Structure 1
Amino acid sequence: MLAFIGGTGLNQLPGFEVKRIAGVQTPYQDTAVDIACGHLPGVAGTVHFLPRHGEGHTVPPHRINYRANMFALRELGVTSVLAVNAVGGIHRQMGPGVIAVPEQIIDYTSGRAHTFFDGDAVDIESADRFTASVTHIDFTRPYSHELRELLLASAGQLQLPVWPHGVYGATQGPRLETIAEVRRLQNDGCDMVGMTGMPEAALARELGLAYASVCLSVNWAAGLSDDVITMPAIRAVLAQGMDQIHRLLLTAASRFPEMS
């Protein structure tokens, strides 16, 4: 079963017919996680949609309850997740408006709940349960190869230019980076920078969920352009780029049964 996680610029899916809002209780917050369940045109079966920043884009990156979100998706029977991330471009291929499907990630965040296996036993009504035992997941390749191939094949079907490479640098936010910080990211091998890629990807791996990211570059990272980074400029790129993202996600969803 497939789910989309929307980020900045993607609070809803055009054409998505919501059948119900599932309020899923989790051990990780007092309130339920609301996930839209419904159908997309030409797509068989139920699709789930979760805006990670909450309704009205009110939750900043460092305050998102990533554990509750990912746990709730798993509780609904989701097996595969396609996440959308807005990023700043670092690599010369990652100018504003470019869509990328990253291969790797470097985590610079701090203070976030990064694991389900944090030493506290969690009593949950599921087929399995997390315990206090130490668990080390294999995170050599953080993104699902199958889902990345699905996205790239879908982009090819649409004749949509997509950069099939890249290292995502996940920073704490909510502020943007300094020039010196971007230089550090460059030196570390990052091709793009965002604030929501981690711990989402790692938590998905801990739950056994296939996970891949679609990134839209909304600006050059600090110091890589003479332009001042402004929200109106970012919104302009989002307005155009998210239309392409919508088409890509719809096509990927229609091809999703091919993975079975």
Structure 2
Amino acid sequence: MKVAFISGTSIVNSTLFSSWEVRTVETKYGPVTYKTRGEHALINRHGYSFPLPPHSINYRANIAALADLGFKDIVSLNSVGSLKRELPPGTFVSCADYVGLQQGPATFFDQELRGGAPLIANNLIPQLIAALAPEFTIHPGKVYVQMRGPRFETKAEIRIVKDWGDVIGMTAAHEADLCTEAGLRYNSLALIDNYANGLEGTEIDFAKFKDLVKDNQAKVNRLFVRLLEILA
């Protein structure tokens, strides 16, 4: 099945894709390096040569590249923080909606008086949830709150947005908007790596976050093994 994957920090440290062919495609928004094997392609949203922080990612180039390569179905894995005590670190979710108020969304419509209805298609999610069970439990229908980054949110900011959604991150809303504009079907998977700053009495810093991501690496690797089997 022709499917492209978008991921980030979770694949940087993985050896699962080390044998995949590395290619670069030119788009009108800039070059994009990706990995490919068979009918699958993988983009590291942060880039491979010099990983970019979330607010500097060339989202338009990444999504344009997948459209130019003929992909229609996109499966994204995002690292997120939890805004709910009942969603602890290590939990997988799928987001069906999102909030992106802090900065304007990335768009292809810079020179056109045009916009579109927001959408996360999630057309593959029911199939993936069923096929991944019972090894993996995916909690669907969650709401993603997007912040700008690259710093984590203050405790005061978390107190404000904790009732807006279920998880918080810095990337997915941009990708979902662009996929919708380009006619691609965006499928959301996200792994909770931490509680949001101040939630459950926790404090977060970047060093702690990297340790939490490292702790979840084996789980991410296994998830991708299963995804590749299911979507073969």
| TM-score of the pair, normalised by structure 1 | 0.80
Does residue 1:49 correspond to 2:49, yes or no? no
Does residue 1:217 correspond to 2:192, yes or no? yes
* Counterpart for residue 127 of structure 2: 150
C-alpha change, 1:109 and 1:151, in structure 2 (3 Å) is farther
* Counterpart for residue 9 of structure 2: 8
C-alpha change, 1:116 and 1:222, in structure 2 (3 Å) is same
* Counterpart for residue 141 of structure 2: 165
Select which of 105, 112, 116 maps to 1:137: 116
Q: How does 1:169-208 map to 2 (within 5 A)?
A: 169-187=145-163, 189-208=164-183
* Counterpart for residue 230 of structure 1: 205
In the TM superposition, residue 210 of structure 1 has moved relative to its aligned partner by: 1.1
Q: Which moved more, 1:78-87 or 1:103-112?
A: 103-112
> Is the Cα contact below 8 Å between 1:93 and 1:163 reproduced in 2?
no
In the TM superposition, residue 227 of structure 1 has moved relative to its aligned partner by: 3.0
* Counterpart for residue 125 of structure 1: none
Partner Cα separation in structure 1 for residue 50 and residue 59 of structure 2 = 15
Q: Deviations over 1:16-48 (max 9, x none)?
A: 36453221111113xx2111111xxxxxx4210
Partner Cα separation in structure 2 for residue 171 and residue 83 of structure 1 = 18
Does residue 1:34 correspond to 2:33, yes or no? yes
Q: Deviations over 1:134-190 (max 9, x none)?
A: 333232xx222322213312321x421222231100100001111221122123x21
In structure 2, list runs of 5 or more residues that go unmatched.
none
* Counterpart for residue 252 of structure 1: 227
Q: Deviations over 1:58-116 (max 9, x none)?
A: 2010100100010011111111111111111101222111111111111134256x211
> Is the Cα contact below 8 Å between 1:87 and 1:218 reproduced in 2?
yes
Q: Give the alignment's Cα RMSD to 1 decimal.
A: 2.1
> Is the Cα contact below 8 Å between 2:10 and 2:220 reproduced in 1?
no
Kindly tell me the number of residue pairs found equivalent between the two proteins.
231
* Counterpart for residue 115 of structure 1: 107
| TM-score of the pair, normalised by structure 2 | 0.89
Partner Cα separation in structure 2 for residue 57 and residue 6 of structure 1 = 15
1:199 is paired with a residue whose SS is helix
> Is the Cα contact below 8 Å between 2:7 and 2:77 reproduced in 1?
yes
In structure 1, list runs of 5 or more residues that go unmatched.
39-44, 120-131
Structure possessing the higher radius of gyration over alpha carbons: 1
Partner Cα separation in structure 1 for residue 207 and residue 103 of structure 2 = 29
> Is the Cα contact below 8 Å between 1:33 and 1:72 reproduced in 2?
yes
Q: How does 1:52-91 map to 2 (within 5 A)?
A: 52-55=45-48, 58-91=51-84
Q: Which moved more, 1:194-203 or 1:15-24?
A: 15-24
Q: What percent of counterpart residues are identical?
A: 31
